[in-house]
Amino acid sequence: MKKSSSRKSRIKESGQTGDGQPVFAIVGRPNVGKSTLFNRLTGSRRSIVGDEPGITRDRIYGEVEWSGRTARIVDTGGIVPDDEALIPAEIFRQAQVAVQEADAIVMVVDGRTELASPDLDLARLLIRSGKPLFLVVNKIDVEALDTAAENFRRLGIKNLIAISAEHGHNIGELLDEVFAVLPFNDEPVEEAAEEEAAVEGDTQEAVHRTHGEYEQHETRLAIIGRPNVGKSTLLNALTGTTRAIVSPIAGTTRDAVDEVIDYQGQQLRIIDTAGIRRKGKTELMAEKLSVIMARRHLEAADVSLLIIDATEGVTASDATIGGYAHESGRSVVIVVNKWDLVTTGRTDGKPPAEMKIFESQVRSALKYLDYAPIVFISAAKAQKDSRSLNRVLDTAIRVAQERRKRVTTGQMNRFLERVDFQRAGVPLSKRVRILYMTQAAVAPPTFVLFTDRDVKLHFSFERFLENQIREAFGFEGSPIWFKVKARKKKSAEK
């Protein structure tokens, strides 16, 4: 029991007001424009928007700045209170959590449709919460339609604003009214800005250092993989919450869901992305958009946790998804999930799988990720035994530090003197001599080679050099990039 409580103590939910910011939640039936309003208020495209009802499922958090103050906003899935099916019921539960933590609630209805019984049921639930409640009648694109919004007074909510989230009509009025009831701190905005500037000044040197290791206050971990391999289960296990909806239905997660946790003094933002399918396998527009968003969140992360389903082994889709991470320069940790189902919990009569044999199979299938460490877990059972979760986080932190490591030019030149490049096995016509070498960037580590010839590095030479660098300096879990500059290039141009 102690382990469980200590794990929860290090969780810092995105939507909680640990930083003093108030929270307001957007709720409503499916397809009334909640995500469009969320994107309008946050000035982003964080929530996926489409004509299909029920696109948003998990809680999505963002920030809204208005009149010099900042508040947190929560976008929720469409609520149908009486629907007992698995995913609608989970969406309702997620929305209830958002309502409980919110300081104010914005209920959105579609102004172009008739008032429906689910709207009445939801309005009664929200009124009973006793929190400041605003009724937003959406899709009122012109002022002439404002009178039609008055028909929704029957819901019994006093504060009614007619808006158009898509076109921005009356958005300022909505924010004025919501921000008027939110419990902001009394600290003047000017003082807060000065303090923030002072903090930025103190930390700027640490963030933009030119020598030593690159320092960063937050490490972003993106959980990636095929649908239904256990990504949302892992997020919930790592954060000790039920933040993401988990179901046996492939493709349950659509929007990226993120949580911030504090682990061993490190602030980690863990992002659960939608399952990435091949283009031909995505039919609904929402699924296509979720795949695009998943790749965007991957490219914004520091470390990707590539989830492999142990019961299925490495598939072609796993190799493709791992390739996305590799090509975008993200560090990679391979997480083999559902390990219990092929060992202690095996029910097909076959002998338990051996970790060394499985690891060699993974290495054989993902040769280009030979630098990525492998961790075996059972996410569904991990909260009972946190050691496997700690291994995932410890490995991710170690890999994140390695990708920010910087090697001095002096160290690189001494390294070059020790390397026997005759062992590289490169054709004579492709051989180059490295005059000197320097690390030009971190995250991922990028090296510039100054050579005697303007020739593209042969893959055998590049592979050999990468292996030698890893042996000498590490860079575990991170791809290494090379850029070549020929000494004779300028004279040739003249």
Q: What is the pLDDT of residues 161-219, one digit of tens each?
A: 999 998 888 899 999 999 999 998 755 444 444 444 444 444 343 333 333 444 567 89
Q: Which pLDDT score, from 0 to 100, does residue 178 have?
A: 96
Q: How far is CA 487 from CA 72, 297, 376, 409, 449, in A?
A: 54, 39, 47, 17, 10
> Does residue 245 carry a pLDDT above 50?
no
The DSSP annotation for 144-165 comes to: GGHHHHGGGGGG--SEEEE-BT
Superfamily of domain 210-403: P-loop containing nucleotide triphosphate hydrolases (3.40.50.300)
Q: Are 402 and 477 in contact (CB under 8 A)?
A: yes
State how beta strands 69-75 and 60-66 pair: antiparallel
Q: Which pLDDT score, from 0 to 100, does residue 200 have?
A: 45
Q: Which pLDDT score, from 0 to 100, does residue 237 have?
A: 87
Residue 172, number of CB atoms within 10 A of its CB: 12
The label of the residue with tokens 């399952």 reads 275
Q: What is the pLDDT of residues 319-353, one digit of tens each?
A: 989 999 999 999 999 999 999 999 988 888 889 99
> In whole angstroms, what is the distance from residue 183 CA to residue 323 CA?
46
> Does residue 110 carry a pLDDT above 70?
yes
Q: Which pLDDT score, from 0 to 100, does residue 32 have?
A: 85
Q: Are 396 and 333 in contact (CB under 8 A)?
A: yes
What average pLDDT does this structure show over 439-447? Answer: 95
Q: Which pLDDT score, from 0 to 100, does residue 256 have?
A: 60
Q: Which pLDDT score, from 0 to 100, does residue 47 have?
A: 45
List every span in the chain annotated with CATH 3.30.300.20: 409-493
Cα dihedral 28, 31, 33, 38 sign = positive
Give 317 or 489, the one with higher predicted confidence.
317
Q: Which pLDDT score, from 0 to 100, does residue 424 have?
A: 85
Q: Which pLDDT score, from 0 to 100, does residue 295 have?
A: 74
Q: Residue 343 carries which DSSP code?
A: T
Q: Which of 23-27, 113-117, 141-145 has the highest mean pLDDT?
A: 23-27
CATH class of 21-181: alpha beta
Instruction: Give me 304's structure tokens.
Output: 């990707």
> In whole angstroms, what is the distance from residue 179 CA to residue 22 CA?
9
Give 10 or 357, the one with higher predicted confidence.
357
> In whole angstroms, what is the distance from residue 206 CA to residue 404 CA?
12
List every span in the chain annotated with CATH 3.40.50.300: 21-181, 210-403
Q: Are 339 and 378 in contact (CB under 8 A)?
A: yes
Superfamily of domain 409-493: K homology (KH) domain (3.30.300.20)
Q: Which pLDDT score, from 0 to 100, does residue 228 have?
A: 84
The label of the residue with tokens 């009972």 reads 384
Q: Which pLDDT score, from 0 to 100, does residue 89 have?
A: 52
Q: Tell me the average pLDDT of the chain.
A: 79
